[in-house]
Amino acid sequence: MAYTIEEEQELNQLKAWWSENHKTVIASVILAFAAILGWNYWKSYQITKTQQTSAAYEYLIYRNTTDLTERNKDIEQFVQESGKNVYSTLALLNKAKVEVEQQFYALAEKTLKQAVTDAPDDILASIASLRLASVQYQQHDYNGALDSLNKVKSDVWDSKKYLLMGDISLAKGDIVSAKTNYEKAQEKASPLEAQWLKVRLNNL
């Protein structure tokens, strides 16, 4: 096949460029291919790890055991091995729930403080903070409870947050603040909760 002078020049320029740059091009292609493989492997690894953690959590929470000490020890080991993630936080919340049911409020407070610290997002941190405030209220640590309520970020829990703040104000003898907080809770409450709060306000 015959080439024109211009085509010959372009072909020679291309050959010269390839001669100078082919190693860089090949290396770039290999690196790009390796990056794609690495990313796919990482995603696969993360999915597998999440599935394994989920299965371990399900077994840990729903297995039949009446030994609270053994169960708590298993949860603590699970949290330590899993790191700061959703399942670890849920396990801590479950542990605190059982401790509250057993009226071990000091233990529940310690567990919930860890849940707040380890929570991977504001949603779980807010749930843990709200439950922590409730436990602190049970122990008459009103200032601690208020500090915990201030860590509740989302307005989704405003009704429960202001209700507890009203209870704290009432326990401290501050009727005015209690009324204000109950009214704020009423604004965010469900119809059933609003009726119950109305009764509470009428009793102030």
pLDDT surpasses 70 at 5: no
What is the reported pLDDT for 46? 46
pLDDT at residue number 45: 39
Report the C-alpha dihedral over residues 87, 120, 140, 150, rounded to 10 degrees. Answer: -150
Can you give the pLDDT at residue 25?
60
User: How many whole angstroms from its chain centre is CA 163?
Assistant: 24
pLDDT tens per residue, range 115-151: 999 898 888 899 999 999 999 999 999 999 999 999 9
Closest CA to 135 of 159, 101, 89, 170: 101
Backbone φ and ψ for 84, nearest 5 degrees, come out as -85, 100
- At residue 139, what is the residue type? Q
Burial class (CB in 10 A: 0-12, 13-18, 19+), 172: middle
Of 170, 165, 160, 100, which is closest to residue 126 (Cα–Cα)?
Answer: 160
Give the pLDDT score at 161. Answer: 92
* Nearest alpha carbon to residue 181 among 133, 110, 112: 133
- Of residues 142 and 69, the one with the higher pLDDT is 142
pTM over 0.75: no
pLDDT score of 135: 96
Token pair 């008459």 is at which residue? 140
Query: Mind listing the pLDDT tens digit for each residue in 154-191?
Result: 788 888 999 999 999 999 999 999 999 999 988 888 88
What is the rounded end-to-end Cα distance, in angstroms, of the chain? 101
pLDDT tens digits along 84-100: 788 888 888 888 988 89
Q: Which residues contact 202 (CB under 8 A, 6 or more apart)?
A: none
| Residue 77, burial from CB neighbour count under 10 angstroms (0-12, 13-18, 19+) | exposed
Tens-digit pLDDT profile for residues 12-55? 666 666 666 666 766 666 666 555 655 544 455 344 455 555 55
